[in-house]
């Protein structure tokens, strides 16, 4: 349940250098996320929430500071290890879905499993399970490019779940969805929360403002966390 700390971020800074100019994208971020928690990073584009998410996922490295996941520092892991970490522990859902349009839904979903060296049967099993969870198994053999926005997002969810990761990170997941599909997405997110997964959503969609399973809404502005606003509607566990 919600006891140990999953993600610890200490004094995180990230800056980009372009020529002589130094642009600080993240300034002194300190954050603790407990296992099984679902938090929302709220802010407009440019507030740094995407960069923070990337660093949490091990896709980007901080300029200074530490990121610990399950007690292990991930900010300076060599490529082999950080890739393994990403494949096993993280499921990412992107704003633009980021599917391979020329591949089928099933083929898209199996990609994170390929480096693990499993047999074709094991892979198929996991893929089917994921597609079912994301409510998209009826489109298993469809080419991803031909799916609707909502269906694509669900394939993306299936892909994010296929290796049963402990952490799900979503970057503006509903930005390209209509209201109907957004609600469906939130529904699935709720199910994932019930499964015990740690979820971080970076968004400025107001639909996330008052969800029962969201424990905190953290506003971000100009690279800093403004304050931690606990979600009043969350019943104490």
State the minimum distance, in angstroms, from the CB of residue 183 to other proteins.
Answer: 25
Q: What is the SS3 assignment for the chain?
A: CCCCEEEEEEEEEEEEEECCEEEEEEEEEEEEEECCCEEEEECCCCCCHHHHHHHHCCCCCCCEEEEEECCEECCCCCHHHHHHHHHHHEEEECCCCCCCCCCEHHHHHHHHHHHHCCCHHHHHHHHHHHHHHCCCHHHCCCEHHHCCHHHHHHHHHHHHHCCCCCEEEEECCCCCCCHHHHHHHHHHHHHHHHCCCEEEEEECCHHHCCCCCCCEEEEEECCEECCCEECCCCCCC
Interface of this chain with other proteins, residues 11 to 50, rule: CB under 8 A: 17, 50
Asked if 222 interacts with other proteins (CB under 8 A), we say no
Asked if 228 interacts with other proteins (CB under 8 A), we say no
State the minimum distance, in angstroms, from the CB of residue 81 to other proteins.
Answer: 6
Of the pair 87, 217, the CB lying nearest other proteins is at: 87
Asked if 230 interacts with other proteins (CB under 8 A), we say no
Asked if 68 interacts with other proteins (CB under 8 A), we say no
Interface size with other proteins, residues (CB under 8 A): 44
State the minimum distance, in angstroms, from the CB of residue 236 to other proteins.
Answer: 36
Asked if 79 interacts with other proteins (CB under 8 A), we say yes
Interface of this chain with other proteins, residues 135 to 194, rule: CB under 8 A: 159, 163, 171
| Binding residues vs other proteins (CB under 8 A) | 17, 50, 54, 57, 59-64, 75-81, 83-84, 86-88, 90, 92, 94, 98, 100, 102-103, 107, 110-115, 117-120, 123, 159, 163, 171
């Amino acid at each position: 349940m919600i006891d140990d700390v999953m993600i610890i971020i200490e004094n995180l800074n990230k800056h980009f250098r372009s020529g002589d100019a130094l642009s600080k994208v993240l300034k002194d971020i300190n954050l603790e996320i407990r296992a099984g928690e679902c938090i929302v990073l709220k802010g407009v584009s440019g507030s740094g929430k995407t960069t923070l998410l990337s660093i949490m996922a091990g896709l980007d490295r901080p300029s200074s500071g530490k990121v610990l996941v399950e007690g292990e520092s991930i900010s300076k892991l060599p490529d082999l290890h950080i890739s393994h970490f990403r494949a096993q522990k993280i499921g990412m859902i992107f704003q633009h879905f980021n599917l391979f349009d020329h591949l089928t839904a099933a083929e898209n979903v199996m990609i994170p499993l390929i480096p693990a060296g499993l047999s074709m049967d094991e892979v198929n099993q996991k893929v089917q399970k994921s597609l079912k969870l994301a409510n998209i198994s009826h489109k298993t053999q469809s080419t991803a490019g031909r799916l609707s926005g909502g269906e694509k997002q669900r394939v993306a969810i299936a892909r994010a779940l296929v290796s049963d990761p402990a952490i799900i990170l979503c970057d503006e997941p509903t930005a390209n969805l209509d209201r109907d599909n957004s609600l469906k997405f939130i529904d699935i997110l709720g199910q994932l929360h019930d499964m015990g997964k740690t979820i971080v959503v970076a968004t400025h969609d107001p639909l996330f403002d008052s969800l029962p399973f969201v424990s905190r809404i953290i506003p971000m502005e100009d690279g800093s966390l403004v304050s931690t606003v606990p979600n009043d509607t969350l019943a104490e566990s």
